[in-house]
Amino acid sequence: APGAEHMAHFFMLAILNGMSASALSEVPFYHPTLEEGLSGALGQICSDTPMTTPGRWQTTPPPGG
Protein backbone atom coordinates (compact mmCIF):
# COMPACT_ATOMS: atom_id res chain seq x y z
CA ALA A 1 0.00 0.00 0.00
CA PRO A 2 1.29 3.50 -0.73
CA GLY A 3 2.67 4.98 2.48
CA ALA A 4 2.61 1.65 4.33
CA GLU A 5 6.24 2.12 5.37
CA HIS A 6 5.04 4.90 7.68
CA MET A 7 2.64 2.57 9.46
CA ALA A 8 5.29 -0.16 9.66
CA HIS A 9 7.71 2.30 11.26
CA PHE A 10 5.05 3.51 13.71
CA PHE A 11 4.23 -0.06 14.81
CA MET A 12 7.90 -1.05 14.98
CA LEU A 13 8.57 1.81 17.41
CA ALA A 14 5.48 0.89 19.41
CA ILE A 15 6.54 -2.76 19.69
CA LEU A 16 10.12 -1.90 20.64
CA ASN A 17 8.82 0.40 23.37
CA GLY A 18 6.21 -2.09 24.62
CA MET A 19 3.34 0.34 24.01
CA SER A 20 -0.26 -0.78 24.44
CA ALA A 21 -3.13 0.23 22.19
CA SER A 22 -4.21 2.56 24.98
CA ALA A 23 -0.81 4.28 25.03
CA LEU A 24 -0.75 4.48 21.22
CA SER A 25 -4.16 6.12 21.18
CA GLU A 26 -2.68 9.03 23.15
CA VAL A 27 -0.02 9.71 20.49
CA PRO A 28 -0.92 12.81 18.46
CA PHE A 29 -1.52 12.09 14.77
CA TYR A 30 -0.85 14.86 12.31
CA HIS A 31 -3.27 15.76 9.52
CA PRO A 32 -3.27 14.71 6.76
CA THR A 33 -1.36 11.47 7.29
CA LEU A 34 -2.04 7.80 6.77
CA GLU A 35 -1.35 7.20 10.45
CA GLU A 36 -4.29 9.33 11.61
CA GLY A 37 -6.51 6.58 10.20
CA LEU A 38 -5.29 4.40 13.09
CA SER A 39 -7.03 6.62 15.63
CA GLY A 40 -10.44 4.98 15.24
CA ALA A 41 -8.99 1.47 15.11
CA LEU A 42 -7.00 2.02 18.30
CA GLY A 43 -10.11 3.36 20.01
CA GLN A 44 -12.04 0.25 18.98
CA ILE A 45 -9.26 -2.03 20.26
CA CYS A 46 -9.31 -0.19 23.58
CA SER A 47 -13.10 -0.47 23.79
CA ASP A 48 -13.04 -4.20 23.01
CA THR A 49 -10.41 -5.19 25.58
CA PRO A 50 -10.79 -5.59 29.34
CA MET A 51 -8.20 -2.91 30.10
CA THR A 52 -8.53 0.65 31.29
CA THR A 53 -9.08 2.84 28.25
CA PRO A 54 -8.34 6.53 27.83
CA GLY A 55 -11.33 8.70 28.70
CA ARG A 56 -11.75 9.99 25.16
CA TRP A 57 -12.49 6.43 23.91
CA GLN A 58 -14.53 5.08 26.78
CA THR A 59 -18.20 5.35 25.88
CA THR A 60 -19.28 2.36 27.99
CA PRO A 61 -17.56 0.49 30.78
CA PRO A 62 -14.88 -1.83 29.37
CA PRO A 63 -15.70 -5.54 29.28
CA GLY A 64 -15.11 -7.10 32.68
CA GLY A 65 -14.93 -3.65 34.27
Give the containing element (helix H, strand E) for 61: none
Please tell me whether residue 5 adopts helix, strand or coil conformation.
Answer: helix
Q: pTM for this one? A: 0.62
What confidence tens digit (pLDDT) does each residue in 13-54 have? 999 999 988 888 888 888 888 888 888 888 888 888 876 555
Backbone angles phi, psi at 56, to 5 degrees: -70, -15
What is the rounded distance in angstroms from the CA atom of residue 22 to the CA atom of residue 60? 15
Of 57 and 19, the structure prediction assigns the larger pLDDT to: 19
